[in-house]
């Protein structure tokens, strides 16, 4: 289960997903399928993917039928090829039909996030840069999507607004400038996990450096400018004292350029806001 949620929270979340889909009841299944009918459902990969969410998939059916039997063939993080079967479920046919859409939607969505993340992580191998997610997540699914990022080999940035100070462009404008914002942020030092500020050019970077923030986010800079900015940070402070992060305009085509510019982190909103769902099917056959 995703570490950011305990078992009860996961079950409550899944129950809400089922309630949304069920409405007043699955009238198609209840009118066409006898309650005694048993069935076997198999998940089949239709394209290459990184699996994420298989335990959530299983839990959907356990919520619908306590005696459902789920065989997990491949764990989360496994790379599958077309034709691989990551899980099988034996339960009443009604439970399989009622739960398949919610279970499969989750598995396809989270595996999509993990698959895209793995591609970004592979693209920067050997550079020392870490791939991070953002808060650009689906409302209600943040903990699950951030879990899928970790499955894909990425790391999580802030999980919520209370974890760290991240001063962005609008904060700077409203606070009265880089210096004013960083001065005010010092009061949060004992409360925040770290203090980070976003800068868009070298002038803003130079204004931020005297305050020694924990992280400087180099926003929407080209890789050549990122390299200059990283060099300036290193001239100001010893390696590791101030981490650097690149964000904005990062794609699979250019992510290695950003990594080779020397940043510690590369945050990619696309990991969660634009990851396509992977192609999985759920095929059900009667038993007996």
Catalytic residues: 101, 136, 168, 198, 219
* Nearest Cα to Cα of residue 64 among 19, 32, 106: 19
**175-180: which pairs have CB atoms within 8 A and are 24 or more residues apart?**
177/207, 178/204, 178/207, 178/208, 179/207, 179/211
Number of Cβ within 10 Å of residue 51's Cβ equals: 29
Give whole-number Cα distances, 96 to 20, 43, 101, 155, 279, in Å: 17, 12, 9, 34, 19
Strands 69-72 and 87-92: antiparallel
According to DSSP, residue 29 is labeled: H
Are the beta carbons of 1 and 7 closer than 8 angstroms?
yes
Phi, psi dihedrals of residue 41, rounded to the nearest 5°:
-115, 135
Can you read off the two tokens belonging to residue 185? 């942020």
d(CA 99, CA 57): 9
Are the beta carbons of 265 and 117 closer than 8 angstroms?
no
According to DSSP, residue 131 is labeled: E
Are the beta carbons of 72 and 86 closer than 8 angstroms?
yes
């Amino acid at each position: 289960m995703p570490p950011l949620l305990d078992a009860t929270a996961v079950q409550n979340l899944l129950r809400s997903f089922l309630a949304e889909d069920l409405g007043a009841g699955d009238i198609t299944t209840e009118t066409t399928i006898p309650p005694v009918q048993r069935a076997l459902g198999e998940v089949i990969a239709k394209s290459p993917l990184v699996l994420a969410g298989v335990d959530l998939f299983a839990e959907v059916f356990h919520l619908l039928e306590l005696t459902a039997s789920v065989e997990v063939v491949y764990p989360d993080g496994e790379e599958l090829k077309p034709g691989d079967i990551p899980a099988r479920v034996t339960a009443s046919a009604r439970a399989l039909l009622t739960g398949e859409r919610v279970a499969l939607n989750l598995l396809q969505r989270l595996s999509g996030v993990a698959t895209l993340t793995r591609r970004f992580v592979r693209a920067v191998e050997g550079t020392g840069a870490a791939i991070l997610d953002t808060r650009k997540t689906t409302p209600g699914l943040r903990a699950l999507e951030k879990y899928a990022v970790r499955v894909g080999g990425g790391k999580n940035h802030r999980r919520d607004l209370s974890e760290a100070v991240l001063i962005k462009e609008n904060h700077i404008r409203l606070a009265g400038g880089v210096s004013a914002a960083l001065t005010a942020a010092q009061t949060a030092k004992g409360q925040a996990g770290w203090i980070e500020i976003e800068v868009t050019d070298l002038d803003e970077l130079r204004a931020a450096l005297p305050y020694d923030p924990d992280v400087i986010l180099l926003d929407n800079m080209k890789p050549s400018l990122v390299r200059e900015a990283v060099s300036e940070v290193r001239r100001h402070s010893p390696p590791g004292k101030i981490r650097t992060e690149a964000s904005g305009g990062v794609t699979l085509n250019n992510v290695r350029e950003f990594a080779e510019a020397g940043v510690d982190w590369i945050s990619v909103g696309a990991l969660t806001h634009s990851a396509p769902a992977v192609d999985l099917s759920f095929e059900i056959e009667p038993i007996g």
